[in-house]
């Protein structure tokens, strides 16, 4: 072997040693990175689990609310099918107890829709019931939207 070759060989070995050193250094770094990654992954998974739990809880609430709504709707439908409860007949006004005026029929006032309760009254008496300033609250036992829903169900 020539001197030149020897020198080259020595240089090569030095280079390889350096490479190994750097590889060891890198492999020492990796576990630390992996540990961090694993820790943050566990954290991520825990968060995901929590999110899933919240999602399921929300879903449950929605289902309960839907069931409650369905119950109300089916009970409303049943109410619509039933005959209305009439407080009086068309011969005397429920409010003033007077007969209808000539050529006029008493009008039907809904006291409530679910169940359907009706009273027959004069036009003027009906105005009194619905007086915006001073309504006769005992004769208005329905909530806003009941009337719309009632006729919607009836027309189904």
**In the complex, which residues of this chain contact Zn ion (CB under 5 A)?**
93, 95-96, 109, 122, 125
Helix, strand, or coil here: 9? helix
In the complex, what is the shortest distance from the CB of residue 131 to Zn ion, in angstroms, rounded to a whole number?
11
In the complex, what is the shortest distance from the CB of residue 74 to Zn ion, in angstroms, rounded to a whole number?
26
DSSP 48-71: HHHHHHHHHHHHHHHHHHHHHHHH
Burial category of 128 from C-beta neighbours within 10 Å (exposed 0-12, middle 13-18, buried 19 and up)? middle
In the complex, what is the shortest distance from the CB of residue 80 to Zn ion, in angstroms, rounded to a whole number?
18
Cα 13 from chain centre: 72
Please state, in angstroms and rounded to a whole number, the distance separating the CA atoms of residues 132 and 11: 104
In the complex, what is the shortest distance from the CB of residue 139 to Zn ion, in angstroms, rounded to a whole number?
8
User: Of the two residues 70 and 131, which places its CB atom closer to Zn ion in the complex?
Assistant: 131
User: Of the two residues 80 and 93, which places its CB atom closer to Zn ion in the complex?
Assistant: 93
Please state, in angstroms and rounded to a whole number, the distance separating the CA atoms of residues 4 and 83: 116
User: Of the two residues 31 and 99, which places its CB atom closer to Zn ion in the complex?
Assistant: 99
User: Of the two residues 80 and 106, which places its CB atom closer to Zn ion in the complex?
Assistant: 106
């Amino acid at each position: 072997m020539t001197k030149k070759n020897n020198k080259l060989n020595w240089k090569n070995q030095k280079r390889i040693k350096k490479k190994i050193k750097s590889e060891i250094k890198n492999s020492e770094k990796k576990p630390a990175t992996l540990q961090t990654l694993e820790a943050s992954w566990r954290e991520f998974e825990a968060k995901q689990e929590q999110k899933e739990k919240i999602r399921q809880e929300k879903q449950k609430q929605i289902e309960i609310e839907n069931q409650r709504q369905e119950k109300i709707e089916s009970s409303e439908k049943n109410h619509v099918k039933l005959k209305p409860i009439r407080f009086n007949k068309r011969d005397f006004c429920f409010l003033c107890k007077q007969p209808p005026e000539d050529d006029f029929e008493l009008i039907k006032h809904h006291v409530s829709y679910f169940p359907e309760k009706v009273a027959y009254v004069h036009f003027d008496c009906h105005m009194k019931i619905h007086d915006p300033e001073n309504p006769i609250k005992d004769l208005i036992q329905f909530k806003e939207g009941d009337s719309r829903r009632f006729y919607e169900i009836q027309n189904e």
